[in-house]
Amino acid sequence: MLTDYHNHLERGTLTLDYLKEFTDTAKKKGIEHFGISEHAYHFYQTEDILRNPWVDERRFYDMDDYVNLFKEAWRNGIDVKMSIEMDYTPGKHSEMASFIDRYDFDYVIGSIHWIGDFGIDLAEYRKEWDRRDIYEVYSSYFDQVETLAQSNLFDIIGHIDLVKIFKYVPEDESFLLEQYDRATTALAQSKTCVEISTAGLRKPTQTLYPDKRLLQMCFDKKIPIVLSSDAHVPEHVGADFDQALSLAREVGYQEIMTFSKGERRAHPLG
């Protein structure tokens, strides 16, 4: 069984033709469970959750159009899961829960892209890294991983160690392992799965998410996994899944999770 649950249409259009470019690629690559999880900040219905100038300039979708696209796909026999990737926003748990409950998602991804007004993975903010204390950034980031897990709002946490994207990594390994340990302890007590994402291989970090040491902790604490490419263009669907599968098996995983209307099932790893 192979999954690719973390993908985006934002560089194209919310049309059946564009969606089919993704699903057709998934089919060719033997991906049996495929989903689109558009960034929630693109939708007018999330204005009460995340607001800042960068996000507000990119809010241009209506959820009705998004839901109707999936209904059209299903009517045409296209097997695609409907999801959303929500920026986890501290202090907005009730607003996030209200939004999630309003729609019949197959699963929901929670991700951390912002520490206050600092967009940690955005090219526009890259120089900001040089002005900040790396240890404070990592501590704040993994604070959010903990509370994301404790919220129990999400089925999957996206790119759990995205914070390493620009290769800013603390030299003190004991500090880093402490962050991993507290994050995985919180996740193990929640319903949240971890994705092995190949997107990092296409970013400056040039590594998979998560780090092998972090994924080993996930396995040791019995945190389930899915596979994702975080494709923003059709040709990236299922990219480098051989490396993701190799890492999963290396740390001990033999099962992968699938989702349908919020229900989770375990399957042998493809």
Indicate the domain borders of the chain.
Answer: 3-268
Average pLDDT over residues 175-189: 98
Round the average pLDDT of the chain to a whole number and report it: 97
Q: Quote the pLDDT of residue 122.
A: 96
Average pLDDT over residues 262-268: 95
**How far is Cα 218 from Cα 225, in angstroms, rounded to an integer?**
9
The model's confidence at residue 197, banded by pLDDT at 50, 70 and 90, is: very high
Please, which residues have CB within 8 angstroms of residue 44's CB and are 6 or more apart in sequence?
A: 59, 61, 62, 63
Please, which residues have CB within 8 angstroms of residue 219's CB and are 6 or more apart in sequence?
A: 251, 252, 253
Q: Quote the pLDDT of residue 163.
A: 98
Asked, as a colleague might, if the bond just before 210 is cis with ω within 30 of 0, I would say: yes
Per residue in 42-68, pLDDT (tens digit) is 999 999 999 999 999 999 999 999 999
Q: Is residue 270 scored above 90 in pLDDT?
A: no
**How far is Cα 38 from Cα 52, in angstroms, rounded to an integer?**
18
Average pLDDT over residues 113-135: 96
Q: What's 3-268's CATH class?
A: alpha beta
- The percentage of the chain sitting over the pLDDT mark of 70, rounded to a whole number, equals 100
The model's confidence at residue 131, banded by pLDDT at 50, 70 and 90, is: very high
Structural contact between residues 101 and 124, judged by C-beta atoms closer than 8 angstroms: no
Average pLDDT over residues 10-28: 97
Q: Quote the pLDDT of residue 106.
A: 98
